[in-house]
Structure 1
């Protein structure tokens, strides 16, 4: 019975995603194009200035721009969708029809998480599989089917889905899309950058505890920190635990708290 309710909620979310939805003509294209175009531009510039094979890309550094841009762009799709339920007051109708409020964020995570994971996988494969053929002198060392490559193909989508869950959890706590995106980006590019300037062992410890740094290390991306959690998988689990705790807290707040709409 519960599975039936969840399936209905998922179908409801899919119905909302018509081809007119901005997800398809802004979020998804930008999430693919921005990392691809940045890497293309860097590769062309490096190719023009390379000397004796200098400036080559390594497999474990090939998804940097996906992690920096695509993941947060994809997060914005789920964030906008959940926050719009409050802004348009459709959340009141949804909860009137289905009293199990937790189904709304869970269904959105299933739908937007799947889209996010697929887009992240496609983008990662485009870089790992396509760029070594387009720029063999620069990307020739990159191998999609090496140990590092396979880890990236598996874990970059997982990382992106976890960020989607993080965004949905924050949206349930404070349903304002601009605020949610600002908080996430402020932590990633503000707090985690700031702690790099903290001197000595305290600064190193803070860096090694930074959630996003651990997430990036966990997917197999080259990192400037050493893990505190027993390896790459441990770091990814640490990041995942933080994201899922926030998602669960947001879902619980939505399930038991008052629904505020504007």
Structure 2
């Protein structure tokens, strides 16, 4: 409990977590407002032409939170580790607790909890904001009694928490902010997209790429994951997030072993 308290104080007493959290708030709500305004304009234009356009969904309203927001939170989670290595205070942390595994578990737990809580609140706020801007017709599905809307409120924080644990593991392995951030951003944005379109082997690799599985979990059986049909995967959405969690847990577990074996 002392280690947890120490990590909580560290997280809330420096500026970088607040800056990262502020960016997540601005992007999450800003993109929700933008998507709502755009969808409403498209809906009205289609109505004038006698065409029926689909109303806005909660998945669309929270795209800023679940995509860009979670990436920023992964950067925050990596900074929880790499910033201490950068300023050389990680030695003091390990000396004070005398248990490196407990330190990493505390860092991962605090980062995961903060990511889950923040994304839950922002997802709900983004849905409410999108409904207000979209109007009663376009935002008809943006109610918390709607099953798809309610699903967003627990899928996004689950993904955010697991992504934070993965980020802490990457940060502990790399120990440098620039390297950790590069890996965490290029992995879902570039590396997996390239691997999924490789000739002959891409279609066999793609179902096992962690972040594509996380996207499948977020979209569910009713949507598509990164442009891939749901029948492209070998399992359902819940198995997909379990797979992502196993990857995140494996990387974090490896980081615990490495940190315990090498010098601080």
| TM superposition score normalised by structure 2 | 0.87
Where does structure 1 lack aligned partners over 5 or more consecutive residues? 1-6
Matches of 1:208 and 1:64, distance apart in 2: 22
- Residue in 2 aligned with 1:236? 241
Distance 1:44-1:112 versus aligned 2 partners, 3 A rule? same
Quote how far apart the aligned CAs of 1:229 are. 4.5
Q: After superposing the two structures, state which structure 1 stretch, 157-166 or 12-21, moved more.
A: 12-21
Where does structure 2 lack aligned partners over 5 or more consecutive residues? none
Quote how far apart the aligned CAs of 1:187 are. 1.5
**Tell me, what secondary structure is at the counterpart of 2:119?**
helix
Q: After superposing the two structures, state which structure 1 stretch, 113-122 or 34-43, moved more.
A: 34-43
Q: After superposing the two structures, state which structure 1 stretch, 88-97 or 125-134, moved more.
A: 125-134
Q: 1:258 aligns with which of 253, 258, 263?
A: 263
- Residue in 2 aligned with 1:144? 144
- Asked if the contact 2:31/2:63 (under 8 Å) is kept, the reply is no
Matches of 1:96 and 1:151, distance apart in 2: 43
Matches of 1:233 and 1:138, distance apart in 2: 29
Q: After superposing the two structures, state which structure 1 stretch, 38-47 or 67-76, moved more.
A: 38-47
Distance 1:130-1:145 versus aligned 2 partners, 3 A rule? farther
Q: How many residues are aligned here?
A: 251
**1:208-223 aligned within 5 A:** 208-220=207-219, 222-223=223-224
Matches of 2:164 and 2:213, distance apart in 1: 17
- Asked if the contact 1:133/1:140 (under 8 Å) is kept, the reply is no
Q: After superposing the two structures, state which structure 1 stretch, 100-109 or 143-152, moved more.
A: 143-152
Quote how far apart the aligned CAs of 1:248 are. 1.0
- Asked if the contact 2:207/2:213 (under 8 Å) is kept, the reply is yes
Q: List per-residue Cα deviations over 1:197-240 (Å, max 9, x = no partner).
A: 3346x332222222111112113453234263431100010111
**Tell me, what secondary structure is at the counterpart of 1:173?**
helix
**1:2-151 aligned within 5 A:** 7-18=1-12, 20-24=14-18, 26-50=19-43, 51-52=46-47, 53-54=52-53, 56-136=55-135, 137-151=137-151
- Residue in 1 aligned with 2:254? 249
CA RMSD, 1 decimal:
2.0
Quote how far apart the aligned CAs of 1:161 are. 0.9
**Tell me, what secondary structure is at the counterpart of 1:135?**
helix
Quote how far apart the aligned CAs of 1:173 are. 0.7
Matches of 2:203 and 2:41, distance apart in 1: 37
**Tell me, what secondary structure is at the counterpart of 2:161?**
helix
Q: List per-residue Cα deviations over 1:25-77 (Å, max 9, x = no partner).
A: x1111112102212212322332343215263223444322222000111112
**Tell me, what secondary structure is at the counterpart of 1:102?**
helix
Matches of 2:184 and 2:39, distance apart in 1: 32
